[in-house]
Structure 1
């Protein structure tokens, strides 16, 4: 079982906002939904005083995030689930 995520609030003056678990149903890709969700997340982060935002992107999502101004920070691998890890890319953007 995976340990729970830390529930404490982030400090917008010293930490980036985090976008987590954003997925688009394959039947609805390439219709602007991902960009709309991302824009909404970024707007909420700005309104909360954050100056930057980060995420862990899947390889499939990386082109969308790059097109939206995100830059790769570092490649990582997910924690193993039943022995399987997933390649991810930590990405960030200044707001």
Structure 2
């Protein structure tokens, strides 16, 4: 859907056929990109609260960046109340639809393959998601950032709202809720 140059990543909306590749990318990203920011126990526990929410694919709001058939990163936006979490984290699920006049859209499940970090992949996906949310009437966006994602969001205009700790398997994982006007 989007191309920057001939060798730049292209974006497209994910389909169910992408699920195995997306899950594998997410596993690698969670393990590799949080190392050094979180303890090994926190990285392991992160898998319980992070991952793919297939509702985003069903809603047609989950974007993939790829080049030559290789998925470089992924992320989505949502018109639903769920702020973060994957299919397996049912306690975090809130499928109610948001009112664009009253609520921010959600930026969800942003992951860059560790082989492609610092190459503009996250920024490309984030911009595509923000543009899509704006085209659906949303005037702001909100997300729950990991420590590894906080810098990307901050340089793209997101402001921290609160710092929270999610607890998974008895381990506290720091997260930052951030917002941005569109």
The TM-score normalised by the length of structure 1 is: 0.92
Structure 2 partner of 1:90: 177
- Distance in 2 (alpha carbons) for counterparts of 1:2 and 1:49: 28
- Distance in 2 (alpha carbons) for counterparts of 1:4 and 1:35: 26
Q: Deviations over 1:49-73 (max 9, x none)?
A: 0000000001111111110011111
Structure 2 gaps of 5+ residues are 1-88
Task: Choose from 143, 156, 163 the match for 1:68.
Answer: 156
Structure 2 partner of 1:24: 112
User: What's the CA shift for 1:19?
Assistant: 0.8
The TM-score normalised by the length of structure 2 is: 0.50
User: What's the CA shift for 1:3?
Assistant: 2.5
Over the aligned positions, Cα root-mean-square deviation in angstroms equals 1.3
Task: Choose from 95, 114, 132 the match for 1:44.
Answer: 132
Relative contact order, CA 8 A, sep 6+: which one is greater?
1
Per the alignment, in what secondary structure is the counterpart of residue 54 of structure 1?
Answer: strand
- Distance in 1 (alpha carbons) for counterparts of 2:163 and 2:92: 23
Structure 1 gaps of 5+ residues are none
Structure 1 partner of 2:61: none
- Structure showing greater Rg: 2
Q: Give the structure with the larger helix fraction.
A: 2
